[in-house]
Each structure stands twice: as C-alpha cells, then as structure tokens.
C-alpha cells in the first residue's frame, strides 16, 4: 500500500492564508509522534540487536537516497561530537555520494548494486548493522544494499513509511511508522522525513546510552569543538564535583573531556 503517495487531505493550498497553511501543517505534524509511538517495539527489537554487536566493535551504516539519505548522514555526523565516538563508528551513506547531500544526483537511487559497492569501501563485516532509510520503501539503492548485506550475514533494519514494502521485505528488523498522506501530496520530506528523524534519534541515542556514552543524563564524552561546548562541559564538572568555574575549566582543558576529568578526580580519592 503506497500511503506516502496518496492524496493530501487538503485542497487548494494556494488559496489558504499563511496562518491556515502553518496551522494545517502543524496539525499534520502532531500525528507523527503518535505513529512513531506505535513502532517503539520495532525500534527496541533492532536496538537490542545492535548494542551487543557494537560492544564487539561493530558499526552502524545508514543507507538512503534524497531526504532519507541526508537524514542518515545528519544522524551519523552528530554522533562523534555528541558522544565522543570515532568517525566511522556511525556512517551515513547517501546515493550519489557527498554531492547528493546538497544537490540531487540524477538516477542515483535507481542503481540496485551501488549501495553494496559503497558499503564494501568501508570493509563491512558481520559485526556491523545496515539500516536502510526510504520513505516509500521502494528505493532500489536501499533494496539492493539490504539484500546483499543479508547475504553476507550482516544485521539489517530499515525505516519506511509504507506498510509491507520491498525495503521492509529485505530487512530483518523493519521499522514502519505509518504517518499517512503528506500535507503536499507525495512530499515525503515532510511528515515521513520527520518520522524518520525521530526514529534515527531514538536508535542512535539509545544505542549510545547503552554503550556507556552518557552518565546520568549528561554527554560526558562530547567533543570540545567550540566555546559553547567548553562552557557546557565546565558547568557539568562544577555541578558534579561542586567546584568553582575556573578550576572546572582548567581541569576540562587539561584532560580533554568531562569523563576524563571525573575519572581523574575519582582516582585521586
């Protein structure tokens, strides 16, 4: 069933006031979190398979095209600064390569063999996980990548917004948030994209928490890549150790992360 391409519930959008446009878009967006809520058991099942593999050195690979591919790249690129993991632990691969992040690459998503070739560049192995992202669930690039990953005993999951789709057939752990028709017919960058982003947040965040990258509710392994993050880390240390700001900042800059500061202070008794 191709729900993502079904007719919008709204007509004559060009005749709506700006207020009505915004109100109706927001009304539709409010249904997305409920759709994601329904698939929490599907997300949980996949995360429970990912964590032990990553504890053994495995990685997560997102594959997708267009908006879906860009969302995977965004989630992957945010893991190193947020959780201090090395680049390459979570990898976003988009059909058409990095050029496609900013500009559509013609026919890139139609090659069923290319995703597996892209994955092989990373020397993918049985400890890794491949998650296909495709709103329609019909993208050949994603289908082919998942199919070959399964043949090679690699864990597969997917995030799609149509039920019982070809992409889901190729994934061991499909996640299918069904958000219904888009506000603009077929514009899956809207509700479908929002649902995919929510699910990606849930996967990467819960995996990183289970890998010990969070203490309490704090990003203790975050990279200190700008002044804002240095200030945030300093405040964390002040609160956790009950010390003043200059001392906390000096410790942070000396040791390089909140976790290393806490570990150092604890080792000193």
So which residues are the catalytic ones? 78, 109
Burial class (CB in 10 A: 0-12, 13-18, 19+), 26: exposed
- Separation CA 96–CA 98 (nearest Å): 7
Distance, CA of 100 to CA of 88 (rounded, Å): 19
* DSSP output for 108-176: GGG-TTHHHHHHHTTT--TT-EEEEEESSS--HHHHHHHHHHHHTT-EEEEEESSTT-HHHHH-SEEE-
Residue 268 and residue 243 in contact, taking contact as beta carbons nearer than 8 Å: no
Q: How far apart are CA 171 and CA 42, in angstroms?
A: 12
d(CA 233, CA 168): 41
Which parts of 36-118 are beta strand (E)?
A: 60-64, 90-94
């Amino acid at each position: 069933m191709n729900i993502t391409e079904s007719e919008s519930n709204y007509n004559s959008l060009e005749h709506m006031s700006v207020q009505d446009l915004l109100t109706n878009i927001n009304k539709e967006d409010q249904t997305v979190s409920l759709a994601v809520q329904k698939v929490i058991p599907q997300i949980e099942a996949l995360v429970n398979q990912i964590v032990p593999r990553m504890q053994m050195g495995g990685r997560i690979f997102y594959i997708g095209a267009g908006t879906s591919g860009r969302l995977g790249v965004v989630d992957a690129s945010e893991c190193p600064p947020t959780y201090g993991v090395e680049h390459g632990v979570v990898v976003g691969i988009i059909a058409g390569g990095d050029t496609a992040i900013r500009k559509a690459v013609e026919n890139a998503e139609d090659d069923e063999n290319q995703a597996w070739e892209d994955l092989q560049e990373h020397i993918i192995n049985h400890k890794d996980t491949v998650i296909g992202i495709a709103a329609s669930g019909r993208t050949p690039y994603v289908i082919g990548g998942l199919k070959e990953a399964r043949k090679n005993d690699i864990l597969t999951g997917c995030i799609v917004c149509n039920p019982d789709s070809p992409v889901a057939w190729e994934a061991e752990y499909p996640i299918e948030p069904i958000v219904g028709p888009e506000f603009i017919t077929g514009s899956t960058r809207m509700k479908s994209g929002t649902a995919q982003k929510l699910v990606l947040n849930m996967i990467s965040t819960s995996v990183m928490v289970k890998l010990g990258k969070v203490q309490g509710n704090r990003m203790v392994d975050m990279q200190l890549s700008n002044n804002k993050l240095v200030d945030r880390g300093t405040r964390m240390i002040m609160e956790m150790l009950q010390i003043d700001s200059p001392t906390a900042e000096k410790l942070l800059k000396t040791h390089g992360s909140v976790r290393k500061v806490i570990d150092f202070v604890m080792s000193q008794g």
